[in-house]
């Protein structure tokens, strides 16, 4: 009986350690050149100087170029998870992979657009 308990405890600790290791993996490095194939959906709003949107409310669309890459990546993750609730941004972010987000953040974070 003690042998089974010890085996179960070892198996459980292995599972917990593997989950902890996955959670600590760094975010993928962004490639600004790869983002060129992914930014068309951003440019429709964020690429128009002075653009104001009317959905879901009227506000000035923020400029992305020159923002901190880490902030941009976290913002996209928050839209994807639902932590941020803008419907258009949530719809766009939901189709992005972690690598897509990293690439786009690297592109806009390094640009003064």
User: Rounded to whole angstroms, how far apart are CA atoms 60 and 79?
Assistant: 18
Q: Which residues contact 41 (CB under 8 A, 6 or more apart)?
A: 92
Which range (51-55, 59-63, 98-102, 106-110) has the least confidence?
51-55
State mean pLDDT over 42-47. 92
Residues 1-17 have pLDDT tens digits of 554 454 444 444 544 44
Scored b (16 or more CB within 10 A) or e, 72-95 reads: bbbbbbbbbeeeeebeebbebbee
- N- to C-terminal Cα distance for the chain? 66
What's the confidence (pLDDT) of residue 55? Answer: 80
User: Rounded to whole angstroms, how far apart are CA atoms 109 and 104?
Assistant: 8
Q: Which domains does the chain have, with CATH numbers?
A: 28-109 (1.10.760.10)
Burial of 97: CB neighbours in 10 Å, binned 0-12, 13-18, 19+? exposed
Q: Is the pLDDT of residue 21 over 50?
A: no
Residues 68-99 have pLDDT tens digits of 999 999 999 999 999 999 999 999 999 999 99
Q: Is the pLDDT of residue 110 over 70?
A: yes
């Amino acid at each position: 009986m003690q042998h089974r308990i010890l085996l179960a405890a070892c198996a459980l600790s292995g599972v917990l350690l593997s989950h902890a290791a996955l959670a600590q993996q760094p975010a993928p490095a962004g490639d600004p050149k790869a983002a060129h194939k992914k930014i068309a959906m951003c440019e429709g709003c964020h690429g128009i100087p002075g653009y104001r949107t009317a959905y879901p409310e009227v506000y000035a669309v923020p400029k992305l170029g020159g923002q901190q890459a880490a902030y941009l990546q976290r913002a996209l993750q928050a839209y994807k998870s639902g932590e941020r609730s803008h419907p258009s941004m949530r719809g766009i972010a939901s189709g992005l992979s972690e690598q897509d987000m990293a690439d786009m953040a690297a592109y806009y974070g390094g640009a003064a657009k």
